[in-house]
Amino acid sequence: MSIAILYEVHQEVRRLFIAGSGVAAGDFRLSKLLPQLQKLGESAPVFRRLSEAIQQVVEASAESSSVKLLELGTLLHSILYTQGTSEIKGELKRFGPSGSLGMTSVPYRKLRPLIEALTQRGPGRLEIVRQANEEGLFHDMRTHIPAVLGLEDTYAEIADYMAEAVIPYIGAPALPILLKQLQLNGGKADARMLLLIHRIGGMEYRELFLRAIEAGSTEVKLAAIDIWSGYPEFEGRLVELSRDKKKEVRRAALFALAKLPSDKAIDALMNALVGKEYSIALEPIQACLDDRLTARLLLYADELVTKATTGSLDEQTVERLATVVNGMEGRRTEQVTHFLISVISNHFFNQKETDAIREHAAKLLLHADRPEANAFLRNLHHQPDQRLIAYSFQAALRDLPPDAVYEEYALQVRNKDHFAAKELLRVMYNRTQPLMHRRGGIHTEAADIHWDSRWVHVFVDINEEELVCRLADEQDRKVTSYLVDKWKVAPQMMKPRTASILFALYKLRHKETPELLLQSLEGAVARQIYYLDRDWLSLMRLLPAQYTERLEKFAEKLTYESVKQQMIEVVESVKANVQDESKDNKGVGWIEWMKSKLL
């Protein structure tokens, strides 16, 4: 029996059920099927009965069309039901369980948002996954397959989160799913799966990792190489891969060998360094601090130095020497220190082409923090070439007392237009802490440096306003006068530098500071104040209570309600200072009271 025409009739009958029986009479599409059904009816009674039912629908009146259409539909569904089949072509195979075990007590209503977040696309899904992980929903076995599918998510943050936090949390129950989903010729998702299989199952899947190297895509192969880096038994194969045609494979193999510092591994690293593409060996060499590799690096470095000083200093030799010097990073041995010192001391390298090499060598000496390295760096500021004076200054700050640092470097700072002065000032800005940081309790390494009090006068003389603000510490008429004059240049509160000046004047206990602060506030255009930052709020809270009324008048002029609310809170804080002044500081005077509030 032909089933195709039955489904065609079913489609047309369904259309008429939707459109309404009123349009069934005389329907063209249904009438078009009659001749074929009548011909089939000559050999099969069921088709003859069906063609008669269709003809009755087509020829029915408006009153009886609904009944005839219903009869046709009932007959058609009965025929189709008897002709159905449950068989599927193909070979029968035994269906095995996934091996994923876990709780199933969580209602599906709660799991559904998580499963949709992992199997669909759209914003906001990462937070759903994180919340689910925190609630322990990934204990439920129904989440395990979606969790593995999440490794393929196009949103990288979700895929990374699943790999780093969720799948390891699921553990062994995820292994069968990972093994089933893994495609050795796949992409990043499959590389994640391979790494997770090793993380959960260890070397139980050794053969799989071997096949990943031989038949895997580039991404999967790189993941397998990373796995191999923890096992010396794969060393020989990694050495072979360090000579692979693909650059990324060679680089990954070198990183793996850096974790296995045997003689063969060190040979492979050095062979890559002296080869054509020596740049890919730099980071793996930096990751391997084995003494044997350090000795080999020093020998190669000596060869390059000899070649450069006895022959022509070509571009490739400079690049190779720079790579070797960079490779010394993290190696704090006496031999490395002597080599770096020799590079800087060699007058042959005192030229533009090798400036970067000398500077990096100085940087490594500073980080090494060895006595002989620091002594050498300190002496550099006596040399005619001042290109490395910044490293000399930092070494001096580390080793010398504050007065000695001042006496050694103050004269060079005064020549503000010179290269050395610019370098020294750059270091000073990096190694001093803004007043606002100190006020906010932010502690940095710069806070531990003590500066000679004479520096602030140098900065006044060369007009380095911000450094004056940072280092001004004791009452000093010259410094105070300088800062007040600087305030007068642009007293408007919208200027960030004005806040720094006022903080410094507070610290110097200048008695006119509150008045200067109020003038800055009152001089600002109130309607242009959209927000008061933490610095200005802190400054206003230092005001004595006698300025409360002026603060309230200023608040009334403000346009934006949010800023008004900030000012109201400040006013309440300043009003509280009345009790502090009268109760705790009676007779002490405003300067000492303000000092106690600031410090």
Please write the tens of the pLDDT for every residue from 66-95: 888 898 889 888 888 887 665 556 777 665
**Domain that residue 71 falls in:** 4-82
**pLDDT recorded at residue 205:** 92
- What pLDDT score was predicted for residue 590? 43
Domain match, 281 and 325 both: no
Whether 117 and 78 map to the same domain: the answer is: no
**Is 313 inside a domain boundary?**
yes
Domain boundary residue among 432, 459, 486? 459
Domain presence at residue 96: no
Q: What percent of the chain has pLDDT over 70?
A: 91
Which pLDDT belongs to residue 15?
Answer: 87
Average pLDDT over residues 19-29: 82
pLDDT in tens, 247-282: 999 999 999 999 988 899 999 999 999 988 899 999
More confident residue, 37 or 438: 37
- Alpha carbon distances (Å) from 435 to 118, 130, 287, 584: 49, 40, 39, 26
Q: Establish if 10 belongs to a structural domain.
A: yes
Mean pLDDT is lowest, of 231-245, 299-313, 457-471, 585-599, for 585-599
Of the chain, the percentage scoring pLDDT greater than 90 comes to 51
Could you write out the DSSP letters of every residue in 51-100? HHHHHHHHH--TTTHHHHHHHHHHHHHHHHHHT------S---PPPP---
Q: What is the dihedral of CA 437, 466, 530, 558, to 10 degrees?
A: 100
Whether residue 399 is found in the same domain as residue 546: no
If DSSP codes are grouped into helix, strand and coil, which group holds residue 247? helix
User: Are 32 and 57 a contacting pair, CB within 8 Å?
Assistant: no
pLDDT in tens, 113-153: 999 999 988 888 999 999 999 999 998 889 999 999 999 99
- Which pLDDT score is estimated for 578? 58
| Statement to judge: residues 267 and 134 lie in one domain | yes
Say what the pLDDT of residue 87 is.
Answer: 59
Q: Among 174-183, 347-356, 477-486, which stretch is predicted with the lowest mean pLDDT?
A: 347-356
Has residue 443 got a pLDDT over 70?
Answer: no
Give 390-433 pLDDT, tens digit per residue.
999 999 999 999 999 999 999 999 988 899 999 999 999 999 98
The count of structural domains within the chain is 4
94-98 mean pLDDT: 55
**Is residue 119 located within the same domain as residue 267?**
yes
Position 447 confidence tier, pLDDT thresholds 50, 70, 90: low
The whole-number pLDDT of residue 593 equals: 44
Residue 469 lies in a domain: no
Query: Where residue 259 sits, what CATH number does that domain have?
Result: 1.25.10.10
Q: Based on the fold, state whether residues 149 and 59 are members of the same structural domain.
A: no
Q: Of the residues 232, 251, 286, which one is the last residue of a structural domain?
A: 286
Q: Do 138 and 73 have their domain in common?
A: no
Answer yes or no: do 122 and 229 share one domain.
yes
* Residue 354 within a domain: yes
> Span 554-577, mean pLDDT?
86
Q: Is the pLDDT of residue 589 over 50?
A: no
Is residue 100 in some structural domain? Answer: no
Question: Is residue 314 in a domain?
Answer: yes
Per-residue pLDDT at 308: 87
Helix (H) / strand (E) containing 118: helix 108-119
286, 310, 329: which is the final residue of a domain?
A: 286
- Is 464 inside any structural domain? no
DSSP string, 421-478: HHHHHHHHHHTS--HHHHHTT---GGGG----TTHHHHHHHTT-HHHHHHH--S--HH
pLDDT value, residue 130: 95
Question: Do residue 170 and residue 199 come from a single domain?
Answer: yes
pLDDT tens-digit series, residues 493-525: 777 888 899 999 998 989 999 999 988 888 887
Tell me what pLDDT residue 442 has.
47
- Are residues 429 and 524 part of one domain? no
Same domain, 125 and 233: yes
Task: Judge if 502 and 445 occupy the same domain.
Answer: no
